[in-house]
Amino acid sequence: MEPLNISNLLTLSISTDGIPICKSTGLGMWPILMKVDQVRAAGPYLCALFSGETKPSSISEFMKPFLDELTNLESVGIEFGGVHYSVRVSSVIADAPARSFLKAIKGHTGYHSCERCIDDGEWCSNRVVLSTTSASKRTDGAFRNMIDFDHHTNVSPLNVLRIDMVSQFVLDYMHLVCLGVTKKLLLSWLAGPLGVRLPSRSVKKISEYLFNCKKFFPNDFSRKPRSLKDVHRFKATEFRQFLLYTGVTALHGILDEERYKHFLLFHCGLKILLTDKASVKEWNYLARLLLEKFVGLIPKLYGNQFLVYNVHNLLHLADDGTNFGNLENVSAFPFENFMQILKRMIRGQRLQLEQVVKRVKEQV
């Protein structure tokens, strides 16, 4: 990463993702969003918006107006209140499909898909799986020179920015951990292969425990626990809640001892990375060891087919803790919340793009 500790510096987190608008037509929106890191209470802000029945056909065309303005800001900075500020991008925050689109690389279900290490992947049980250990690390220079040619599908238009094309593309924990690994574990316990799947009476006990927790839950939590029969409708915050809070006690005495202790490795590793200790060398090292142990035991406890992109990338999650501190600092949660606000701005079936732009202008 380029050093960003200069005075009068504004750093920006940018994000993009698709928002479905109409299921029957496939119509959706792709906003480009931005947050100023130094003003955490404000934003995100809408910078650009695309609407269509598919995602933008050309990433270069989609990003060009935004990148032209951003590269100009990187070059000349900005004047505000009589003070000149330098501008840099600190992070790009998106889910795996959006990152592969932005970086013009192989998708997360393919070979050579890991963004942090040169892991080719192998075919197992009708999917590409990655290894339990980290391979040689990718670097910004190797990415820009396309040294691992099989990793790329084209030249990324974001190469024009003054960012590290590897380390500054965050492995967003909302998608990777909450909607990824935590959901995958729960679904395996509910409907996985024999030997992993829990009997229905055990699932019922977990659901009863979660239901009984509701009355004791403080208002700090945006959602109350609910039964596992609704797991397919769980939001990311509910998977987060299970991993960090309710799961530790709900699974005690239900999972066998080996799998329960395995879950605790995952729980403790994320507990550390979701605090301000994430960038402290000793704590970060501990989180890394815990997650490496968790991934290393996956083949024994859940089978090689479980080693998909999200599980493998737990090996690299501590790197983001080193670079950014608490993973909440670089999570997609505020961007996802803002996208839902944009979606609610649409009142009718016609001219949805124009409706959103008009409503955003009204708020400026």
- The length of the chain, given as a count of residues: 364
What's the rounded Cα separation, in Å, for the pair 99 and 18?
A: 12
User: Mind listing the pLDDT tens digit of every residue in the chain (364 residues)?
Assistant: 555 557 789 999 999 999 888 777 778 899 999 999 988 878 899 999 998 888 899 999 999 999 999 999 999 999 988 999 999 999 999 999 999 999 999 999 999 999 999 999 999 999 999 999 999 999 999 999 999 999 999 999 999 999 999 999 999 999 999 999 999 999 999 999 999 999 999 999 999 999 998 888 888 888 899 999 999 999 999 999 999 999 999 999 999 999 999 999 999 999 999 999 999 999 999 999 999 999 999 999 999 999 999 999 999 999 999 999 999 999 999 999 999 999 888 887 778 888 888 888 887 7
Q: Looking at residue 222, what is its pLDDT?
A: 82
The DSSP code sequence of 222-236 is: SS----GGGGGG--H
Angle, CA 71 vertex, CA 67 and CA 73 arms, to 5°: 115
Q: Are 198 and 189 in contact (CB under 8 A)?
A: yes
Q: How do the domains of the chain map onto residue ranges?
A: 9-95+332-363, 173-328
Q: Looking at residue 124, what is its pLDDT?
A: 95
User: Rounded mean pLDDT of the chain?
Assistant: 93
Q: Provide Rg for the chain, Cα atoms.
A: 21
Helices (H) and strands (E) in the chain, counts: 14, 9
